Amino acid sequence: MSASDRKGIPMKTPELELDVAVVGGGASGTYSAWRLQHEQGEKLRVGLFEYSDRIGGRLFSINLPGLPNVVAEVGGMRYIPGPGGHVLVDNLVKQLRLPSQPFPMGAPPPVGSLNNLFYLRGKRFRYRDFKEAPHKIPYDLAWSERGFGPEDLQVKVMNYVYPGFDQLSLCQQMQVKVFGKEIWRYGFWDLLYRVMSNEGYQFMKDAGGYDANVANASAVTQLPATEYSDNTVFLTLTKGFQSLPLSLAAKFAKLPGLLPAKQRVQMNQRLVKISYAKDRDFPYRLHFQSTVTEDGNTRDTTGSQVVKARQIILAMPRRALELIEAPLFDDPWLKENLGSVLMQSAFKLFLAYEQPWWRSLGLVAGRSVTDLPVRQVYYMGTECEQPGGEPSLNSLLMASYNDIGTVPFWKGLEGGAPFVGHVPSSHAGQLQATEVVPRCQFQVSDEMVRVAQMQVTQVHDQVELPRPYSAVYHAWDADPYGGGWHEWKANYRIEQILYRMRKPVADQQIHIVGEAYSMGQGWVEGALTVAESTLQEFFGLKRPNWLPKNYDLLPALTPDDGALPCQDCGKTLNAVTTFAYEGIDHGQQ
């Protein structure tokens, strides 16, 4: 018998029974499923569910026509290698043998990023001018604020608030008091208002490129943020950052185990509801609505299923969690703390050109920054210069990477006549005109490209730029993401929430993992450290042998005894003084 019994009465499809249901096909979800299957697949039935037709979540890699080896990363795009960087991601990439390559932030040494442009308040200058010619910076900065780039100025603020703040543990940072109250009760903007000029704040916001860098998120996590210092080295994955979750999902499906491989990864399944059942073996029912994805847009369709589970891992951002109906979210603690993070909107627009016109301006890689709505312009590379690249000058520009305050500007340019582009000469006769601009969730408009082209022209002080032949963009504020990344809010006990959120209700076997409630917000590292710590603590998985033993997945919880250490105080203060002396414009009185 198949769909009906001998009397012709339709038979109900048996409900899938899982030991662990992992919901969310992004980095933390695919990682959790892979680790569970690798370590306990012979004993556990593990299933992975994704609401769309795409594995990756907020890692989304696109190759535009004519650029098979230059990736448009409309989501996450890089990581920091080495012992002081993103240790889990770095070692995982090596374990999976995924090819990586530098993500340069400037020209080859010795020039580096010194030649990259800033166009602020109608004035152009180079990165080197922060120190070499501070009089060119069009901000009325206090004398002690001159001579610093935006990242170094943030370090100076940290040194003023509490020298060596970045060397304290999280619990110690939570104890620091500034102007009579604990620092965790301050939003970062609120704190900056008290320790620097308004011009200094505006300079940090404009020249930093990200509104999020000075957003009014928790001062505890904002204050020591130095990921974008001049000396930071980044890597990316040669085949796109999305190849990380894609590889994890593929390996998860191929590993031996109790559950047949074809049942392990279920795409186009939207989790609508979690209900509790009086079933000691499978206490949870996951109610999924079938979806269909067309041209990147996912919508509900006919069909649904109920899955039984012993344990659940919700590998989701905050907004996706809010869309689920479940008694779990009636818990008072979870109600209070689910909203402890801000959802920050983000937007990226890529333009493809038939030649890298920016090279004639001395610009090779990295970014130029402006206070125009495009905010950041990244020079992503030329096809012929890539490993195994085709002999073509086709080049990719991230014409806009912006967040929070400027996203509505670009959202207002959605719709209208679509951008059609043109077939590049390198692919004449190989591409149809309809194939030049990819069909995606967000179809780029002709006006959006025109306005971006106009602003990029202005940033680079050119009369007219070559016409782009293709374009793609993505905005991360739509459901189920709610934003490109998260930031902790002020007035929340971060050190308590990030531990408990992994199992928010003590008597329920439901876990929340991902970047949202981590100490690495905005990075894949944050998503994976929360996932790995959850797997070790609540699922009994051993620490993988490829992960260094001395790497802390979560901040250590130190006793709150009210005493803050002062180790090597003299050395710390000397470093603070030296740093300030190097930046101050001593000609200003």
Bigger pLDDT: 583 vs 142: 142
Query: CA dihedral defined by 274, 276, 281, 287, rounded to 10 degrees?
Result: -30
Give the mean model confidence (pLDDT) for residues 467-482: 96
Bigger pLDDT: 363 vs 574: 363
The reply to whether 17-57+241-341+485-539 and 61-109+233-238+344-475 are identical in fold is no
Residue spans per domain, the chain: 17-57+241-341+485-539, 61-109+233-238+344-475, 139-228+562-588
Any idea what the Cα angle at residue 178 is, between residues 177 and 184, rounded to 5°?
65
pLDDT in tens, 357-398: 999 999 999 999 999 999 999 999 999 999 899 999 999 999
* 61-109+233-238+344-475 carries CATH number 3.90.660.10: yes
**pLDDT-based confidence at residue 14 (cuts at 50, 70, 90):** confident
8 Å CB contact between 353 and 466: yes
| 241 Cβ contact partners less than 8 Å away, ≥ 6 residues apart | 59, 61, 71, 73, 75, 76, 77, 78, 524
pLDDT value of position 164? 87
pLDDT value of position 224? 86
**pLDDT-based confidence at residue 3 (cuts at 50, 70, 90):** very low
The pTM of the full predicted model, rounded to 2 decimals, is 0.94
CA distances from 417 to 278, 446, 448, 450, 471 (A): 55, 6, 10, 12, 14
pLDDT value of position 586? 44
pLDDT value of position 587? 42
Element (H, E) at 336: helix 332-337
pLDDT value of position 588? 45
Handedness of CA 265, 268, 270, 275 (dihedral sign): negative
Does residue 148 register a pLDDT over 70?
Answer: yes
Phi, psi of 265, deg, nearest 5: -110, 115
| 452 Cβ contact partners less than 8 Å away, ≥ 6 residues apart | 349, 351, 374, 399, 400
Amino acid of residue 164 = G
8 Å CB contact between 398 and 459: no
Give the mean model confidence (pLDDT) for residues 236-264: 96
Give the mean model confidence (pLDDT) for residues 88-102: 97
**pLDDT-based confidence at residue 13 (cuts at 50, 70, 90):** low
pLDDT value of position 4? 45
Bigger pLDDT: 473 vs 572: 473
Percent of the chain beyond pLDDT 90? 82
Give the mean model confidence (pLDDT) for residues 186-214: 96
Strand partners, 237: 100
pLDDT value of position 181? 95
pLDDT in tens, 271-312: 999 999 999 999 999 999 999 999 999 999 999 999 999 999
Phi, psi of 209, deg, nearest 5: 90, -25
Cα end-to-end distance, the chain, whole Å: 91
Domain 17-57+241-341+485-539 top-level CATH class: alpha beta
pLDDT in tens, 400-425: 999 999 999 999 999 999 999 999 99
How many helices (H) and strands (E) in the chain? 17, 22
pLDDT value of position 582? 67
**Average pLDDT of the chain to the nearest whole number:** 92
pLDDT in tens, 521-559: 999 999 999 999 999 999 999 999 999 999 999 998 876
Give the mean model confidence (pLDDT) for residues 28-48: 96
Percent of the chain beyond pLDDT 70? 93
Does residue 11 register a pLDDT over 60?
Answer: no
Does residue 121 register a pLDDT over 60?
Answer: yes
Phi, psi of 364, deg, nearest 5: -115, -50
**pLDDT-based confidence at residue 574 (cuts at 50, 70, 90):** confident
Cα 182 to chain centroid, rounded: 28
pLDDT value of position 15? 87
